[in-house]
Structure 1
Amino acid sequence: MTKKAIDTLMSIGIDIGKDTFHLVGFDSDGQLVLRKKIKRLGLLQTFDKLPRCVVGMEACLSAHFVSRCLRKLGFKPRIIPAIYVKPFIKGQKNDYNDAEAIAEAALRPNLPTVPEKSQDQLDLQALHRVRSRLVSRRTATINQIRAFLIEQGITVRKGLRALKNSFETILEQRKDEISPRMRSILFGLYGDWLWLDDRIEAVSKEIEEISQREENCINVMTIPGIGPVISTAMVAAVGTGEAFDRARDFAAWVGLVPRQHSTGGRTILGRISKRGSRYLRMLFVQAARVILMRSNRWPDFSFGEWLIRASERMNQNKLAIALANKLARMAWSILRHKTAFDAPKKCGRDWNLKPFSASKEFAID
């Protein structure tokens, strides 16, 4: 393309790859004036020669890093969810077609975009992902121990603590029934379990320390059932919540609103959509279940009357989802307006941090 054509650029779409980026740009008339493949290391050098314009990219790995780099150069980066780019793809899927679709989507002013995450948010998000992976590995290790014991004709009642408290006793009492090799395998798995416990505790402690220093987390933790894990996960995911216009939009992003299939003026609602953040949705549902376990505390909440009435007409699962939706809406409102939850009259500001903390026993362990 000629330099004159390049100077008329209005939007650029970047298809981000591991080692290479594909660029497609349009001018003010919607004509394609840029089509280029560059190396990741040549990103800044390439864009430094281009006129400042809107740059679109899909929300993916390194999108926030690329966005920050381009913003420093004077561009206007827009991070777009992949689901909103898909309708703009023409023809078969390839890197250039993807970049062209992103460039067209970037020019749509009403298209929802992903707020650019700061480095602190990415660090906090990484902590949560590490913790989630460790918890998943620990669960897999415990299940494998149970499976090997069942193969030896030994069953243990449900629960993490039940197995941990009786593990060494079982191996000692059944040493004549379990072969030396199997004993060695089981002790190795038990060692892995203890190591994972230590790692999870260390990461959880670091998350809790961050929650005590971050003002937004402190405010969100004043809501019943919400502790360090949920508050920090929410701040890491949405920052101050400015990406959403209202609380229902955030609840919809978490996936806690009914799936809609309406037509002909007739509203048809189904199960929850389960779109958006699966991790946050799981945490809010767990927080709701913690509250439902303690019905004697319901009258102390500002939403206690609603919860009591809802419990009379809903089964336990529907009630948990409805309460999770309400908790998510309240959390967004508190985060967006930088306020605290209206705690019960008989209790102080941080009444809920210990009895209702969703970070330890009732979280994702």
Structure 2
Amino acid sequence: MEKITRTGVDLAKNLIQLHGVDSMERVVVRKAISRQKFLEWFANLEPCLVAMEACSAAHYWGRKLRALGHEVRLIAPQLAAPYRKGGKHVKNDRLDAEAICEAAGRPHMRFVAVKTADQQNVLLLHRIRNGSVEERTALVNRLRGELVEFGVFLPQGIDAFRAHFIESLEDGTTELNGVARTALERGWEHLEALDQQIAWCDAQVAMHVKHDSNAQRVMAVIGIGPLTASAAVSTVGDARVFKNGRQFAAWLGTVPKQASSGGKTRLGRITKQGNTYLRTLLFQGARSAVMAAQRRTDRLSRWIVGLQARVGWYRTLVAVANKHARILWAILAKGERFDPSYVPTRAAPPTGP
């Protein structure tokens, strides 16, 4: 068998498809192997480039393959899909593995950095917390909706719900019977358990920020707290893989879509591509920064106040989130510290012949 120089891998739970080519781009191997024999097969293979889609378990397999001496590249699924024969109308594991292998050989392809185990451990906390928050919101809406069926109308907001729920439940004038009251009480106990789960996750995230110097420097940015700082450090990892702050902002999806042609630039809404969780946290931080800008006198806050007067609240939020993304890149990639009064210096144009 010819030496394999590049292998495309289509990951799955049990059966993994491989597509390998040699230095002349000739197909050397095209086969499916079980998950149990995946690492064994690569252990007997000379080091080569291994490409996989950035999907479930991809970072785990990437770390294992790197330990065997292989070069691992993860590709976003939307970047590999155009190389699949048959396009979106024809799809199977063999074609997916071939498309991944082909995409990895393109000279200007963009890749996803393989996350470390420490990064994924912290991100697990964020995912558990975020899921608990979503479950708590659904539970509060469910309990409020059930009470409406008996003429009990509670005000909006989770704090107001907590303040009035028990009182409404103990109201003897409602049509609730004993079984219904017990069911609602069990829902209240579930709500308290979710509150404890979220509080525990917050404490663990705060502990991570306390022992991470990068996260502490990120927290200095106006509007960014422990949750965003921890998520940014754990999600990004090595920010030096991005060429500049704009590239990082584009990766997060905070830059406008383009529909430009014929020399005419047409910009639309932000792309919303990239990590939804981190982008959401950045927008929440931007909201806090805009609200606090009226009380501050630093250069960044004055810029926010002036921008809001010109373009309004919502566009200012987008602009501040984009600026925060670029600031995060400078902090994480260059080791800089945030200075709200920082004035960028531009090199003077050359003069003379």
Q: Which residue of 2 aligns with 1:118?
A: 116
Q: Tell me whether 222-231 or 46-55 shows the greater mean CA deviation.
A: 46-55
In the alignment, is residue 233 of structure 1 matched against residue 228 of structure 2?
Answer: no
Give the structure 1 partner of residue 201 of structure 2.
203
Distance 1:173 1:95 in 2: 60
1:114–1:243 contact (8 Å) kept in structure 2:
no
Instruction: Verify: 1:73 aligned to 2:68, yes or no.
Output: yes
Counterpart of 2:61 in structure 1: which amino acid?
V
Task: Give the 3-state SS of the residue equivalent to 1:270 in structure 2.
Answer: strand
Higher relative contact order (CA closer than 8 Å, sequence separation 6+): 1
Aligned to 2:349: none
Give, in whole Å, the separation in 1 of the partners of 2:323 and 2:312: 17
Q: Which moved more, 1:209-218 or 1:313-322?
A: 313-322
Q: Deviation string for 1:301-329 (max 9, x for gaps)? A: 33122112101111211111111111111
Q: Determine the structure 1 residue equivalent to 2:275.
A: 277
> 1:356 is matched with which residue?
none
Task: Report the 3-state secondary structure (helix = DSSP H, G, I; strand = E; otherwise coil) of the residue aligned with 2:185.
Answer: helix
Judged with a 3 Å threshold, the aligned counterparts in structure 2 of structure 1 residues 181 and 69 are, in CA distance, closer, same or farther, namely same
Query: What is the match of residue 350 of structure 2?
Result: none
Three-state SS of the structure 2 residue aligned to 1:173 is coil
Determine whether 1:182 maps to 2:184. Answer: no
CA contact (8 A) 2:300 2:341 kept: no
CA contact (8 A) 2:293 2:301 kept: no
Indicate the SS of the match to 2:6.
strand
Alignment of 1:264-303 (within 5 A): 264-299=262-297, 301-303=298-300
The equivalent residue for 2:261 is 263
RMSD: 1.5
Task: Report the Cα distance in structure 1 between the residues aligned to 2:44 and 2:169, rounded to whole angstroms.
Answer: 69
Within 5 A, what are the aligned runs for 1:39-188? Answer: 39-91=34-86, 92-188=90-186
Partner of 1:319: 316
The SS at the match of 2:299 is coil
Contact kept, 8 Å, 1:298 with 1:307, in 2: the verdict is no
| Match in the other structure for 2:250 | 252
- Residue pair 1:288, 1:323 contacting (<8 A) in 2 also: yes
Q: 1:268 to 1:174 in 2, by over 3 A?
A: farther
- Percent identity over the alignment? 37
Contact 1:59-1:80 at 8 Å conserved across structures: yes
Structure 1 residue corresponding to 2:336, chosen from 326, 336, 339: 339
Secondary structure of 1:87's match? helix
Instruction: Give CA deviations for 1:30-75 in whole Å, capped at 9, x if unaligned.
Output: 1111111111111222112222211111001111111111112111
Shifted more, 185-194 versus 42-51: the winner is 42-51
Q: Which runs of 4+ in 1 moved over 4 A?
A: none
1:172 Cα deviation (Å)?
2.0
CA displacement at 1:174 relative to structure 2: 4.2
CA contact (8 A) 1:222 1:343 kept: no
* 8 Å Cα contact 1:56/1:106 also seen in 2: yes
CA–CA separation in structure 2 for the residues paired with 1:276 and 1:343: 27
C-alpha distance in 2 between matches for 1:249 and 1:343: 22
For 1:88 and 1:238, the matched residues in 2 are separated by 27
Alignment length, in residue pairs?
339
Correspondence 1:32 to 2:27: yes
